[in-house]
Amino acid sequence: MKALKHLNKYLFKYKFRLLLGVLFVIISNIFALYPAQIIRETFNLVESKLSGTKIDSTSYLGDLFQNLSFGKAVLAFGTIVFGLAIAKGIFTFFMRQTIIIMSRLIEFDLKNEIFNHFQHLDTSFYKENNTGDIMNRISDDVTKVRMYVGPGIMYTVNLVCLFAMVIPVMFSINVKLTLYSLTPLPILSIIIYYVSNRINKQSERVQSKLSDITTLSQETYSGIRMLKSYVKENYFISKLFKENEQYRSNSMNLVRTNAVFFPVMMLLIGLSTIFTIYVGGMEYIAGNITIGNILEFVFYINMLTWPVTAIGWVTSIVQRAAASQTRINEFLSTPTKIKNPTTETFDLKGNIKFKDVSFTYPESGITAIKNVSFEIKSGETFAIVGKTGSGKSSIINLILRNYDVNNGEVLIDDNNIDAINLNQLRENIGFVPQEVFLFSDTIENNIAFGYKNGLPDENIIHDAAKNAAIFNSIIEFPNKFKTKLGERGITLSGGQKQRVSIARAIIKAPKILIFDDCLSAVDTETEDIILNNLERVMKNKTSLIVSHRVSSVKNADKILVIDNGEIIEEGTHQSLIELEKVYYKMYQQQLLELKEEKVK
Ligand SMILES: Nc1ncnc2c1ncn2[C@@H]1O[C@H](COP(=O)(O)OP(=O)(O)OP(=O)(O)O)[C@@H](O)[C@H]1O
């Protein structure tokens, strides 16, 4: 329950709505209370007319309508009841408009708070938690929390208010009748608590099966080419059938519980009414109450039934909300380890220096970098080659400060990377990752995403595309730069996607350009064109090219060869060839592969 304290700041923020809501609850209950008393008066009037006795002098309405004919008096009572019902309806509407809307506003604020926090969390957070979990916090969990600040609060206030108004009136009329007619209600509440917990668990099972089915269908559709080429259609059909079967059986369980639940509830409510009429009848015979009082009690019991029922429901809402808020708080209290230390700007030149750097991934414990030292001077084209898993991308992760080093120092223009303005550093780096990510948007917008100052001019986008050697392919599409890319750019080939991603980095006009093995799906001729363009675009700026292909790095000013997180060779292409070691062997091997491809 403590977890829900987090929401108090929002309840305080919307205190006026909440107070107004409480006021409307009170007013709507007042309008609900009077009809019961008017019905009592009506029946007392009818009884007195039928028995020829004079109406009770304590009856305020009886006096008021004393001079009316019997028919007119009953009609007048009916009209008042109708008017009060409308007034109650109006205030119930206001009550929902204030409290339920407040809960929607809190839901909105909480979603924003979580989303903002997620945006600032480190890369490692996203490695440690799966996307489904992260998405659930912001959707499912927030919805459950909203049920507490909305219906949860509204029904609790309503219950307290009704109890305070109705129970004293009931006791003042007849203690025995009050005790008898209220007895079934707590039983009803306890049953509802257990049943609604059961219903919740069953609905969760149904929901989770449904999300399994959605995930499976989504994977099937996005991997349809793979699925067809491996002739796995029947396998997936039977897999989906099994999931669907479980979904059906879970849904059936839920339907069964609901089917038993409502009649049982109606039975208990009915029992309450029967008790009231039976005990009320006895009391009437004994002369302790009037006939109108019995009817009045039936009304009170009906008024109390739903709020008392709601105790069980609200208890389970609060429990679920507390569990969800605990999960949300867990994420909200995850600290951002990599913070921007300063907002002060500096003149970034683009010198990068690694001084005896070692780094271990906190999430896996893998030591990816061991005592690495090198220096990239501003304006240089620097390259890193190595086998897969040798630590190339890890070096880039450290330059982007996605992680902090364990030992040693990463220096940018002689300043420690953890002391400089991180946003400024990242804004000045044009990074092309190994795994291309394109938005489901137009090619134009995907490239313009990298532009720093609002929307770029068409020519700027075209230039970036030309430099990335993708312009000619784009203008061949019917919609040219306005071509929409499907989910993850499905309409483009692997090499085209990489080049759109390169154009996005180039349009940024970065001071440091980093290519993380992003030319792998591009043929060597196009690779040459892109690298030549880069020489021009990145003149006097720093370029870092990471690759496992010698052709991508051979023109670099300096090449670093790494293996198992350590530098094993460094120098220019020529000097490394002359060394006749690892780089030389890689080069020979790749030359051979190229020759074989040409022969084919
Ligand atoms: N986010 C991560 N969390 C945990 N371990 C990681 C992570 N990224 C990489 N590693 C591990 O660190 C080591 C170096 O990986 P890295 O991605 O730097 O290699 P790489 O040279 O870029 O390989 P490739 O050419 O295949 O991309 C590998 O053993 C890898 O399993």
pLDDT in tens, 132-185: 778 878 888 899 899 999 989 998 998 898 888 889 988 988 888 888 888 877
75-104 pLDDT, tens per residue? Answer: 888 888 899 899 999 999 999 889 999 999
Residue 395 Cα, ligand 1 centroid: separation in angstroms?
10
The sign of the dihedral angle between the CA atoms of 291, 292, 294, 298 is: positive
Model confidence at 61, pLDDT cuts 50, 70, 90, reads low
Q: Would the pLDDT of 574 be above 80?
A: yes
Q: Whose CA is nearest to atom 12 of ligand 1?
A: 368
The reported pLDDT for the residue numbered 57 is: 47
* ipTM for the whole complex: 0.95
Residue 361 Cα, ligand 1 centroid: separation in angstroms?
9
Just give the CATH number of 435-509.
Answer: 3.40.50.300
The reported pLDDT for the residue numbered 406 is: 92
The reported pLDDT for the residue numbered 64 is: 62
Q: Whose CA is nearest to atom 24 of ligand 1?
A: 388
Tell me whether domains 1-171 and 435-509 share a fold.
Answer: no
Listed in sequence order, the residues at least 6 apart from 177 whose beta carbon sits closer than 8 Å to its beta carbon are: 170, 276, 279, 280, 283, 289, 293, 297
Higher pLDDT, 498 or 594: 498
| CATH 3.40.50.620 assigned to 346-428+511-573 | no
Is there an atom of ligand 1 within 6 Å of 88 CB?
no
User: Using CA atoms, how far apart are residues 132 and 109, in angstroms rounded to an integer?
Assistant: 21
Return the structure tokens found at 595.
Answer: 């020759």
The reported pLDDT for the residue numbered 68 is: 67
Q: Where are the domains of the chain?
A: 1-171, 346-428+511-573, 435-509
**Residue type (1 letter), 477:** F
DSSP 325: H
Is 285 in contact with 169 (CB distance < 8 Å)?
Answer: no
Is there an atom of ligand 1 within 6 Å of 363 CB?
yes
pTM over 0.80: no
The reported pLDDT for the residue numbered 217 is: 85
Architecture of the domain made up of 1-171: Up-down Bundle (1.20)
40: helix, strand or coil: helix
289-340 pLDDT, tens per residue? Answer: 888 888 888 888 888 887 887 787 788 788 888 888 988 998 888 888 888 8
Q: Would the pLDDT of 276 be above 70?
A: yes
